[in-house]
A and B are shown apart, each in its own frame.
Chain A
Amino acid sequence: MTTIKLASLALLLLAAACSTPVPLENKSDVPVETRSGTPAGATGAAGQGAAAQSEVKTVDLNAAQANAAARVVFFDFDSFAIRDDGRPVIDAEAKRLLAARAKRISIEGHTDERGGREYNLALGQKRAEAVAKALALLGVNDNQVEAVSFGKERPAVQGSDEAAWAKNRRAELKDK
C-alpha cells in the first residue's frame, strides 16, 4: 500500500515538475516488457531532476492485457493503402466508436526501420491518416480520432528481415 502511495506521489511530483504534465494514462499503454529494468529518471524535467530518482513505473495488468489484444492494421512496403486483412479491425473499431461517441482514440502509424527518421515519421503519419479516413467514412466523428506517428522509432518487433519489417509496418489503435 505504501509503495503505491509513494508511486502516485512520485508521479504527481514528476508531472508538476514538467512545464506540460505528461498524460499518465497513456503511459500504461506501453508494453510491459519494454519497461522492465528501466532505470529511474525524469521524463523530461532536465535540470529539475530532484523528483526523478523517485520515479516508479506502475505496471497495470489490465492495460497489459488490453494491449495483448491490440487493434493493429498492417501495411505493405512503401504503402498506406488499407489491405483487406485490416478491414475487420477498422469495422470493429468504427462500431465501438459509433456506440460510444465520447470515446477517443489515437491511431499511431509506424514504419519499418529502413530510411530516414523524419521521412518515416511522415510515412507513418500517412498510414495513421489512412485509417482515420476509413473510420470517418464509416461515420466516426473526426474529433474522436487523432492520427499520430512514431515513424520507425517504436518497432513492434526487433529484426532486420522482411518478417520483422512486415510486423512493424502498422497502425495501432489505442484508447486515449
Chain B
Amino acid sequence: MTQTDQTLLTLPMRRRDWCTGLVASITAVPALAQFRVEISGVGATQIPVAVARFRDDDKAAPSLGVASAIIRADLERSGQFRLLDVSQVIEETGQPSMSEWRAKGADALAGGSVSRLADGRLDVRYKLWDVVKGQDLGGQSLAVPLADMRLAAHRVADVIYERFTGDKGVFSTRIAFVVRAGSRYTLRIADADGEGGQVALSSPDPIISPAWSPDGRQLAYVSFESQKAVVWVQDVSSGARRALANFRGSNSAPAWSPDGRQLALTLSREGGSQLFLMASEGGTPRRLTQSNAIDTEAAWSPDGKSIVFVSDRGGGPQVYRIAASGGEPQRLTFSGSYNISPALSPDGKAMAYVSRLAGGAFRLHLMDLASGTVTALTDTNDDESPSFAPNGKLIIYASRAQGRDVLMTTTLDGRIKARLLSTGADVREPVWGPFNR
C-alpha cells in the first residue's frame, strides 16, 4: 500500500447532466433499488470485516445514501466478506483498540468521515486497519462532486476488496441493461450495485443485446426503432449515435473485439443468420462463418484470437469456437440439446452460458474450458444473458422472479446471489462494463 494518510485524490468529473432532459420526459420511470443479497451459501471462506459508521455519512448526501452502508453492501455482495454488525462511528482519525476488534472477530476494520467542502464537493475520508496484525493500513481522502458520493463509496469498497483478496474490485464499474415498463423500452446505465441509473436511450420499440466497448465509452446495441433489427453504436457521455450495421434483413448480436477495433455481428444480408466482422468505424463487413444454419451470439476470447458463438448446424443450438481469422469451428458444448448465450471469463478459462434442461428450464451454467467440466450455477428456470464482471469474480444475468424479468448476480461457485429489486418493470439484457468508466 503506497497510499499515505489523507492523500487528496480528486475523481474525474463525469458529465451527469446530458440525459436529464430525457429522464424528465419519461413519466413511467420504474423504481429500481440496489442489488440485495438473497442467497448466501454456507461453507464459503469469507473474510470477517467491520465497516464502522463514517462520521456524518448519513447527513452529507441523504438522497444518495449512506457511504458506510454502500461499502458494506458492496463487500457482502462480492461473497468474499462476512460483514460484522457495527453501529458505532469510527473516524479516520480515530484510534480503535485492535485487541477489542480482534475479540469481536474482525480481521479488518474500516472507518471514516464524510464532509462538505467549501466549494460544495464532498470529502469522503477513510482509514483501514489490519486487525489481525494490529496494523494501520492508511487511508485516503476522496474529494468528489456531490453527485459522485456513491462512486466515492464504491472506490473505498474497491480498495478494501483489493487489499484483502488480492483482486481488483468492481464496485466502481458500471452495468448496462434494458428496462421494459409498459410499452416503453429504456437502455440504462447504472453503478454495479444497480443504483444511480441513467437513461442512455428511450424508445417505444424493443432494444436488445447491449455491448460495452472495451474503453467503456460506447455501447453497441440492437434497436428495432426502424421496424427491423439495426445495430447502433452510441457514445455514452454525449449521446451521439450512429447506425453501424443497417443492411438488408436483420442486424444483431454485436460483440466488440478486445482491442475495440472491430465488432463481430450477426447479419442476414446474404440469407440466413451468419457471423461477420466489421471495423468499429463502419465499412464493409467480412463474413466469418459459412453455414446453412443459424450462427449467432459471438463472444471474443480475451486475447482476441478466437470467437465463441451459437450455431444449430448440428441440429439444436450449441456453442462452437472459431478462430477470428476464420476456419473450421469446433464444438464446445455436448451435454443438453439447447445451449446458448456464451460469455467468456476475462482470463479466458471459463465460459458461462444458458442451457435448456429436459424439463424446459433455461439455467445458467459454467464450463471450465480446460477440463470441460460443467456446473449449474442456479436453480431458476428462465436465466438469460450472462456477462462477467471485469475481475471475473461475479456473473450478472437475467432471470424471472414473481412474474417479472429481474437481474441477478452470482459468484462463480453459485453460492452467493444478489437480486436487483425492481417494481413495475421488466429488467433484462444486463452487460457488465469494463474497469474504465
Q: Which residues on A are within 8 Å of B, measured CB to CB?
A: 19-20, 22-23, 26-27, 29-30, 34-35, 37-50, 52-53, 106, 108, 114-119, 121-123, 125-126, 129, 146-151, 153-154
Contact = CB atoms under 8 A, between A and B. Distances in A.
B203 to A, nearest CB: 6
Contacts of B26: 39, 41
B203 A148 contact: no
A116 B203 CA distance: 21
B225 interface: yes
A69 to B, nearest CB: 19
A53 B25 contact: yes
B40 to A, nearest CB: 29
A172 to B, nearest CB: 11
A150 B222 CA distance: 11
B338 A115 contact: yes
B22 A41 contact: yes
A148 B204 contact: no
A123 B253 CA distance: 14
Nearest to A40: B25
Q: How large is the interface on B (under 10, 10 to 19, 20 to 34, 35 or more residues)?
A: 35 or more
A19 B273 contact: no
A38 B223 contact: no
Given A37-B182, A147-B249, 19 more contacts: A20-B242, A22-B225, A23-B226, A26-B226, A26-B227, A40-B25, A42-B22, A44-B241, A52-B25, A52-B202, A116-B340, A117-B385, A118-B297, A119-B310, A121-B273, A122-B266, A148-B227, A153-B206, A154-B224
Interface stretch (B6-14, B83-91, B232-240, B300-308): B232-240
Contacts of A41: 22, 25-26, 184, 202-204
A114 B383 CA distance: 11
Given A35-B183, A44-B223, A148-B228, A118 B19 contact: no
Given A117-B429, A153-B208, A43 B225 contact: yes
A151 B208 CA distance: 11
B297 A116 contact: yes
Contacts of A39: 25-28, 184
**Which 3 pairs from chain A and chain B are nearest by CB?**
A47-B239, A49-B22, A122-B273
A53 to B, nearest CB: 5
Contact of B19 (A19, A38, A49, A150): A49
A118 to B, nearest CB: 5
Nearest to A34: B183
Contact of B294 (A42, A46, A119, A153): A119
Given A41-B184, A126-B272, A46 B28 contact: no
A148 B205 CA distance: 15
Given A44-B201, A46-B200, A118-B297, A148 B249 contact: yes
14 contacts: A35-B183, A42-B22, A44-B232, A48-B239, A108-B227, A115-B340, A115-B356, A116-B341, A116-B384, A118-B252, A119-B294, A121-B250, A121-B253, A126-B294
A49 B266 contact: no
A150 B227 CA distance: 8
B57 to A, nearest CB: 33
A118 B206 contact: no
B399 interface: no
A150 B272 CA distance: 15
B226 A20 contact: yes
A150 B226 contact: no
Given A29-B227, A122-B266, A146-B248, A38 B204 contact: yes
Given A19-B243, A129-B272, A119 B25 contact: no
Question: Which of A29, A35, A114, A148 has the most chain B CB atoms closer than 10 A to its own CB?
Answer: A148
Contacts of B322: none
B276 interface: no
A40 B203 CA distance: 10
A42 to B, nearest CB: 6
Nearest to B338: A115
A116 B25 contact: no
B226 A42 contact: no
A27 B228 CA distance: 11
Given A40-B25, A43-B203, A118-B209, A20 B243 contact: yes
